[in-house]
Chains A and B, each alone.
Chain A
Amino acid sequence: MPLLRIESLTKRFGGLTAVNGLDLEVEEGQIFALIGPNGAGKTTVFNMLTGLTGITSGSAQFAGRDLGRLPSHRIAELGIGRTFQNIRLFGRMTVLDNVRVGFHCRTRTGMFGALFGTPRARREAADTLERAMELLDFLDLVPVKDELSLNLPYGQQRGLEIARALATNPRLLLLDEPAAGLNITETEVLMGHIARLRSGMGKTILLIEHDMKLVMGISDRVAVLDYGMKIAEGEPAAIKADAKVIEAYLGTGFRGAYAGS
């Protein structure tokens, strides 16, 4: 059984059909890329999967559970974590605290524990701090842990988005254009991180990205969206050669530039 099964998923905003009858299956342990021109409906798919926007029709099942009407925080608890294309960090909180928020759904301390500093609450706080530091270390953010996140340079903000999402301990991680705005070196570092997310942490990854070098380099499988519809799906090599994809998205120049590599 696939970890994520999407069946004829549709989203309409008034007269606009943003996502139109999408079928998709993501297997556990896969790195799956969702590509397509701007406005193709990729982010809308992520928003439906994380409960931030309602599903018009169709269904999405995660580990056998229907995501249909579940609120966002329940979906995060089930094990879907995400990052945002237009970075949405908690700007006036420190880098460390941003990651701490990610641990929210994996910890229990309530008002009583907070007010009276119970041993359990203190243990949990110490444990959260330790694990948050591990994640910051993984994304090379330890030196800036006490900075307000809004003061971080762009590349580190992208990294923090990933660290925060990892703190929710997701089985499936949705990365929305993680390389947007990064330079070549930063993108290579990011590719290394994503590869390690799977090999080291056993995460399944669904990824939206425009950087074709990244997509073709690390994905097991690629689906192409255009005007809300899936126009192709397959292994990276097959997608690169697909006539429809080249016309809708990659452009005819792409064949010359990348076909040989």
Chain B
Amino acid sequence: MTARRLLSALAALAALLLVPVLITDDYGLHLIIMTAMFMMLAASQDLIYGYAGQLHLGQAAFAAIGAYITAVLMLRFNLSYWLVMPLSGLGTALVALLLSVPTLRLRGLYLGLATLGFSEIVRLTLIMWNDVTRGPMGLPGIPAPTFGSFVFESKASFYYMILAFTVLTVVAIQRIVHSRMGKALMAIRDDEIAARAMGVDSSHYKLTAFSTSAFFAGIAGSFYSVYISFISPDSFKMMDSFLIFAMPALGGMGTVAGPLIGALVLYVLPEITRVFAEYRMLWVGGLLVVTMVLQPKGILGGMRALAGRLRRPRPEPGTD
């Protein structure tokens, strides 16, 4: 069984590595790169809401912070990307920590509103802090990362970079949620009072969940910075926070594949239906409503239920 799993993992990895060879169309590869970045954001969002149960509507703001840290450090101080990237993650985690301390006592919708307010503060700061961020004009000309003499310029090279980031993020989050710390987060989600009575320091773990998640979101933002090479306060909008929030919910919260499926559907669908302009969010919203009504456990939950029904023969009438 383990040999089979290893084999299928290797096959999946080979397929992922072949993507830039098979898809040579620039726009197609761009869509895949952005989808992978949103998968990273959705997986990190799931750590806060899906596992720790803390309503958080500001993941795009964390990405924006990471993106700006990278842009400013690279443009002003000409530092290597491989130093700037982890610094962006750590800087974002630090901001998340500062945000979480005053919001520790908030729960549910109140916490959601506070994180929404935080996103707005981030956006306004980026617009107003002209000296550093150039305000609404944004920061153009962010240099490409280099590795020795190799320059990350082609779409394929960025694809491999985000593939590595996303895979590492998913693996790290899975390791966390299956550990002692992950059980503590889920205990807080299910019943914070009982968790505390069982010896779980809920404040500590809520802070850790927020800052860990922000770390990954900051790295995703950092990637965006060097990939697009231009950022502005509009790069990560509040709408993106909502979308990132909806991705694990649509795909299936608290699972490996759920946030990834959700990111695929919610990023790619609006993108390929750009021809319908402003109407596209209408049916994305509709899709969300229908999925949540029909299958509260998300797409993955629905597929699992279906697979279970197909595998298990229906019981004979009257045997129950």
Q: Report A's interface with B, CB cutoff 8 A.
A: 50-52, 71-73, 76-77, 81-82, 84, 88-93, 97, 100-107, 109-111, 113-115, 117, 121, 124-125, 128, 164-165, 167-168
Interface positions, chain B 170-187, Cβ under 8 Å from A, are 172, 175-176, 178-184, 186-187
CA distance A199 to B196 in the complex (A): 28
Interface footprint category on B? 20 to 34
* CB <8 Å contact, B193 and A104: no
Residue of B nearest to A82 (CB): B197
Residue of A nearest to B190 (CB): A90
Residue of B nearest to A92 (CB): B190
The one of A51, A92, A114, A124 that contacts B186, using a Cβ cutoff of 8 Å: A92
Shortest B51–chain A CB gap in Å is 10
Tell which of A77, A111, A113 has the most Cβ of chain B within 10 Å: A111
B212 CB–A CB distance under 8 Å: yes
Shortest B226–chain A CB gap in Å is 25
B295 CB–A CB distance under 8 Å: no
* CB <8 Å contact, B198 and A105: yes
The one of A52, A104, A121 that contacts B183, using a Cβ cutoff of 8 Å: A104
* CB <8 Å contact, B199 and A77: yes
CA distance A114 to B176 in the complex (A): 6
The one of A84, A89, A91, A111 that contacts B176, using a Cβ cutoff of 8 Å: A111
* CB <8 Å contact, A102 and B198: yes
- Per DSSP, chain B at the interface is helix
CA distance A115 to B182 in the complex (A): 11
The one of B178, B181, B199, B254 that contacts A111, using a Cβ cutoff of 8 Å: B181
Known A92-B186, A111-B212; contact A121-B195, beta-carbon cutoff 8 A? no
* CB <8 Å contact, B212 and A101: no
CA distance A246 to B51 in the complex (A): 50
B153 CB–A CB distance under 8 Å: no
B255 CB–A CB distance under 8 Å: no
* CB <8 Å contact, A88 and B183: no
Sampled A-B contacts (11; CB under 8 Å): A52-B196, A72-B196, A73-B202, A89-B194, A100-B180, A101-B184, A103-B180, A104-B199, A104-B200, A114-B178, A128-B180
Contacts of A110 in B (CB 8 A): 181
Shortest B190–chain A CB gap in Å is 4
* CB <8 Å contact, A109 and B179: yes
The one of B172, B175, B183, B196 that contacts A97, using a Cβ cutoff of 8 Å: B183
B189 CB–A CB distance under 8 Å: yes
Shortest A227–chain B CB gap in Å is 26
